[in-house]
Chains A and B, each alone.
Chain A
Amino acid sequence: MRASIRHVLALSVCAASCVAALGTAPALAEDALQKMSADPSQWVIPLGNYSSQRFSDLKQISTGTAKNLHPVWTFSTGVLRGHEGGPLVIGDVMYLSSPFPNTVFALDLNQGGKILWKYEPKQDSNVIPVMCCDTVNRGVAYGAGMIFLHQADTTLVALNAKTGKVVWSVKDGDSSKGETGTSAPLVVKDKVLIGVSGGEFGIQGRMTAYNIKDGSKAWQAFSSGTDAMIKFDPAKTMTMGKPVGANSSTSTWQGEQWKNGGGGTWGWISYDPSLNMIYYGTGNPGTWNPTQRPGDNRWSLSIEARDADTGVAKWVYQMTPHDQWDYDGVNEMILADLPVHGKMTKGLVHFDRNGFAYVMDRVSGKLLEAEKYDPAVNWASKIDMATGRPVLVNQFGPGVQGADHNTKGVCPAALGSKDEQPAAYSPTSHVFFVPTNHVCMDYEPFKVSYTAGQPFVGATLSMYPPSGQQNLGNFIAYDANQGKILWSDPETFSVWSGALATAGNVVAYGTLDGNLKVVDQKTGKLLYKFKTPSGIIGNINTYTHDGKQYLAVLSGVGGWAGIGMAAGLTEDTGGLGAVGAYKQLSNYTQLGGVLTVFGLSD
């Protein structure tokens, strides 16, 4: 098996050098996309660019003009479920997708958002209840004249961007086993990449690359399994500066538990064209009961760096060995060239669910920094920089405390200090703008049995704000070089919307109670806000049309964030019952998917 990986590697190296020798690049989607993403008038990649920075060079909307923003047009998706992700803008056309049934709309910006075409896949509704936390869809991808939709039932479909007609379609997984699709695809060169959701159903997570031409499978790399399955080269794939060695995943599970090992890949994918490497994170190991799965459970909760052509891993880093809290590692990997310890570094910055902000050398995988980005984080005192492992606080380890014991006061909660909602980064000031959750939990693990297609969880939890505090979220500015929070805007509820930073020195985000907010990058001072029709869990994008800059965002409360909508959160166990703990989101907002586009007054 290993020989065949080498063979593939050798072939791709040859192919790459042959092309280089000829001096003519093939007409790859990546080249076009790379150029297009440098044009700030469009928004062509879900997270703005391959580096996932969510930064735009546009500056008509600025600290000086933001007060003149107002909604200019709106569009209803007709769906009531949670609306994550955001629209793409390719030329004069905006593309967006809805939660199940995953309708895709192409809207003509020249005709005030007129529907050019609409595509609604036929899907078995039995997929709905196996989607862990609502039927979200985090957006479509564009490449080579096609729009790629990753459906709830794991079908990846390529649509003609002009007509909406199906070019090809491929089924990636099996929803009867709890495998579902929620993540946005990423187009890289001649391939389109998708992950899989289902960490709560004992799936075996993986990243899969399909050939853009016909939807045939190019490579697939599992999160747990044999070296061949996970596409690791025992001698060359590195972790913490050393080769991973043989059986680096299977040796860290009891028996064959890795087969239901979880490690969903439902987050975002980044790509560095100069290194030809892709980056993404893996989710929680299956079951949430740590006592039932001894070992480090590799490579769940890890950052994976892989060769874009072959899928073979260059390096890997497990942030949370032997998960005891559901700290998925899938949040976005922001690729940034930034000063670290006084030296410009090709960095990868990742704000993990576990409450630590990691700075890695994205070439070598070396761990450079790991600091808490919410002072409430208590499950680990720090990350040991020599071993890369968290220094655990036993009191807050449900696995240490044992099954059938209720471990109280763990921060952050299973939602993480931040979930999938992507942060923004300013390459000029090197500051990160991070939407965060400020929530703690009680966690009780217990024995669970595996049945295909049924929840495989084995824990129950209650969530509440940190002791004595009222806000469930903060929107923060973070300096990764110093590991320091520069400013923090408290929010009543978790901030569950993707942020956008621009050259106009503003940063925009949405709130669960439905406000779009624009604040000053330097101070966090509020410059503009508008209450949209529903809570915002979507990501804010920007583009220009006829020379004018716009902001676009989907509102439509739901998702994991919607779980507390009806109930509010429980009183904290210390009996300190913060006033905010009983706040109910349903008193502020109701369901409904609507796109709102904002512009400046003339």
Chain B
Amino acid sequence: MKLPTILLSLAALTACAAFVPVPAMSATDAVDAKPYTVKGGKVDMGTYKGYLYYGDQCMRCHGPDGLGSSYAPNLTDSLKSMDKEQMQNTVINGRKDVNTASQKVMPAFGTNEDVVENLDNIYAYLKARSDGVLGRGHPEHLEP
């Protein structure tokens, strides 16, 4: 419920800051903006943190480098069809697929400080992996 207010005030802040004329960003640019920066194989600090917290919180089910395991999906595939909001909703609230053929349960990470704080970073890392611009393994980071 609080989210729209925060978004609105953020927009107001941005508007206030924009005293100096800057090139206007079109709606399409905003949608296309990548959540990560990858230069020469190195990633921005946010994406780097995303890698770390992925390894910390997600890897034991979703496998190394987001590639899935015998019991959880490959996220580099999932993010090809799932948008940021859907992904983050799933992380915060969890998901269940339990029937006679499947016993898949994604836990709700909504109370997990480390995950909540790094939600955008984890998305950035997985999106970079999913877009094929970041390879497997431990990335190096650009200078903060």
- Which residues of chain A have a CB within 8 Å of any CB of chain B? 78-82, 100-101, 125-126, 128-130, 132-135, 200, 406, 442, 444, 446, 448-449, 451, 453-455, 457-463, 557-558, 562-567, 569-571, 573, 591
Contacts and interface: CB of A to CB of B under 8 A. Distances in A.
Contact of B70 (A78, A100, A444, A562): A562
A373 to B, nearest CB: 26
A591 B137 CA distance: 26
4 A-B pairs closest in CB distance: A460-B55, A562-B70, A567-B67, A129-B107
A457 B114 CA distance: 11
A442 B100 CA distance: 38
A129 B105 contact: yes
Contacts of B74: 566
A272 to B, nearest CB: 35
B60 A132 contact: yes
A446 B52 contact: yes
Interface residues of B, number: 39
Given A446-B56, A458-B56, A565-B70, 4 more contacts: A100-B103, A457-B60, A566-B68, A570-B136
Interface in B110-132: 111-115
A463 B64 contact: yes
B105 A462 contact: no
B57 A457 contact: yes
A459 B56 contact: yes
B38 interface: no
Contacts of B64: 462-463, 563-564, 567, 569-570
Given A134-B71, A462-B64, A591-B70, A406 B138 contact: yes
Contacts of A78: 100
Contacts of A460: 51-56, 59, 138
A125 B105 contact: yes
A256 B26 CA distance: 54
Interface in B77-119: 94, 96, 98, 100-107, 109, 111-115
Contacts of A567: 63-65, 67-69, 136
Contacts of B104: 128
B98 A125 contact: yes
Nearest to B94: A129
24 contacts: A78-B100, A80-B103, A81-B103, A100-B103, A128-B104, A128-B105, A444-B55, A449-B114, A451-B112, A454-B109, A454-B111, A454-B115, A455-B56, A457-B60, A460-B59, A563-B59, A563-B64, A565-B63, A566-B63, A566-B74, A567-B67, A567-B136, A570-B137, A591-B70
A116 to B, nearest CB: 22
Nearest to A454: B112
A361 B105 CA distance: 45
A563 B103 contact: no
Nearest to B109: A454
A591 B69 CA distance: 11
A125 B96 contact: yes
Contact of A459 (B55, B70, B109): B55
Contacts of A135: 71, 103
A47 B115 CA distance: 40
B120 to A, nearest CB: 17
Contacts of B98: 125, 128
B3 to A, nearest CB: 22
A570 B135 CA distance: 10
Given A130-B107, A571-B137, A200 B60 contact: yes
Contacts of B55: 444, 459-461
**Max count, chain A CB within 10 A of own CB: residue among B96, B100, B137:** B137
B71 A562 contact: yes
B107 A563 contact: no
B137 to A, nearest CB: 4
**Max count, chain B CB within 10 A of own CB: residue among A82, A132, A454:** A454
Given A446-B56, A457-B56, A460-B52, A128 B103 contact: yes
B63 A563 contact: yes
Contacts of B56: 446, 448, 455, 457-460
B119 to A, nearest CB: 14
A462 B52 CA distance: 11
A79 B61 CA distance: 18
B139 to A, nearest CB: 10
Nearest to B102: A80
A152 B138 CA distance: 33
A471 to B, nearest CB: 19
A42 to B, nearest CB: 32
Contacts of B112: 451, 454-455
A455 B68 CA distance: 18
Contact of A566 (B69, B115, B138): B69
B63 A564 contact: yes
A444 to B, nearest CB: 7
A449 B113 contact: yes
Nearest to B136: A570
Nearest to B115: A454
Contacts of A134: 69-71
B48 to A, nearest CB: 10
Contacts of B69: 134, 562-567
A101 B100 CA distance: 10
Contacts of B136: 462, 567, 570-571
**Max count, chain A CB within 10 A of own CB: residue among B64, B65, B109, B136:** B64
Contact of A462 (B53, B60, B115, B137): B137
A14 B63 CA distance: 54
